[in-house]
């Protein structure tokens, strides 16, 4: 499947926030569609987002990647939490129109995953079956704290945390207890040697592509378990 086979769509967030673009990658025989939000510093076209969508498509998972309004406008500073969470809801609604009846999942990279969880904590996301976080940003780099994870206890959906063992934005000594307290509906999967974007050191003897293969494989098996 070509990386360029994604279909571009546009959908409205609100009168004030405007319209944003998205990319739907819908492989033949897809099992589900994942609404995939980008991180704070790079948009839906970033290499990580492209590669993740492609790997998932190869395994039968469709994706809708989309821009937050600030990224659509070329602004560096992220939108307010209210605008970001409204964008998550609008993206889920847009996904339903393009999913051909497929089960929906939602999540994203770093900030995109966190905003998806905040949106779901405030009010259920329509028809979404579970949330997937590609590097959940539990705290700022060098400032360990679990405060950013408190809203997760208001999320009623199954959740998958994919975290690098070297992630500077999620000290595992803090994240593991949070996941334990969240209970059986939550799984924490560690990419050994990975950083916040699952980049591996050469000393591991593994490539970043192998790490992303591992991530995609875990996403597929977890989704299958949720849909069972």
| 49 inside domain | yes
% residues pLDDT > 70 (the chain): 98
Report CA 99 to chain centroid distance, whole Å: 17
| 124 inside domain | yes
Who's near 66: CB < 8 A, 6+ residues apart? 11, 20, 21, 22, 23, 35, 36, 37, 38, 44, 87, 91, 94
| pLDDT over threshold 80, residue 81 | yes
**pLDDT tens digits, one per residue of 22-35:** 999 999 999 999 99
* Mean of per-residue pLDDT scores for the chain: 95
How many degrees, rounded to 5, is the angle at CA 39 between CA 42 and CA 197? 95
Res 219: pLDDT: 98
Res 203: pLDDT: 87
| pLDDT over threshold 70, residue 1 | no
Q: Give the phi and the psi of residue 162 in degrees, each rounded to 5.
A: -105, 110
User: Structural domain tally of the chain?
Assistant: 1
pTM score: 0.96
Q: Which domain holds residue 116?
A: 7-227
Give the mean pLDDT of 145-173. Answer: 96
Give the mean pLDDT of 171-185. Answer: 96
Kind and range of the H or E element at 61?
A: strand 61-66
| pLDDT over threshold 80, residue 138 | yes
Res 174: pLDDT: 97
DSSP letter at 194 equals B
| pLDDT over threshold 50, residue 56 | yes
Do residues 107 and 116 touch, judged by C-beta distance below 8 A? yes
Residue 3 or residue 226, greater confidence = 226
Q: Report residue 3's pLDDT band, with 50, 70 and 90 as the boundaries.
A: very low
Write the CATH number for 94: 3.40.50.1820
Give the mean pLDDT of 97-109. Answer: 96
**E strand segments, 84-209:** 104-109, 128-134, 159-164, 186-191
Res 111: pLDDT: 98
Q: Give the phi and the psi of residue 30 in degrees, each rounded to 5.
A: -60, 145
| 2 inside domain | no
Res 185: pLDDT: 94
**36-75 burial: b if 16+ Cβ within 10 Å, else e:** bbbbbeebbebebbbbbbbbbbebebbbbbbbbbbbbeee
Res 2: pLDDT: 42
User: Encoding tokens for residue 166?
Assistant: 């070297």
Res 218: pLDDT: 98
């Amino acid at each position: 499947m070509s990386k360029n086979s994604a279909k571009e769509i546009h959908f409205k967030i609100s009168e004030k926030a405007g319209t944003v673009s998205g990319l739907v990658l819908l492989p033949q025989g897809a099992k589900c569609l994942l609404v995939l939000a980008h991180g704070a510093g790079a948009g839906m076209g970033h290499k990580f987002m492209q590669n993740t969508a492609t790997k998932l498509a190869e395994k039968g998972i469709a994706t809708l990647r989309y821009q937050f309004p600030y990224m659509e406008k070329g602004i560096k500073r992220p939108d307010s939490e209210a605008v970001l969470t409204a964008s998550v809801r609008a993206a889920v609604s847009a996904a339903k129109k393009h999913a051909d009846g497929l089960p929906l999942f939602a999540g994203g990279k770093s900030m995109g995953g966190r905003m998806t969880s905040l949106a779901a904590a405030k009010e259920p996301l329509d028809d979404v079956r579970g949330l997937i976080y590609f590097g959940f940003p539990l705290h700022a780099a060098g400032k360990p704290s679990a405060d950013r994870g408190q809203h997760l206890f208001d999320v009623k959906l199954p959740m998958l945390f994919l975290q690098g063992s070297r992630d500077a934005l999620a000290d595992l000594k803090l994240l593991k207890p949070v996941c334990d307290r969240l209970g059986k509906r939550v799984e924490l999967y560690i990419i050994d040697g990975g950083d916040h974007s699952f980049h591996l050191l050469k000393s591991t003897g593994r490539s970043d592509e192998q790490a992303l293969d591992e991530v995609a494989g875990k996403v597929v098996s977890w989704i299958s378990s949720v849909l069972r």
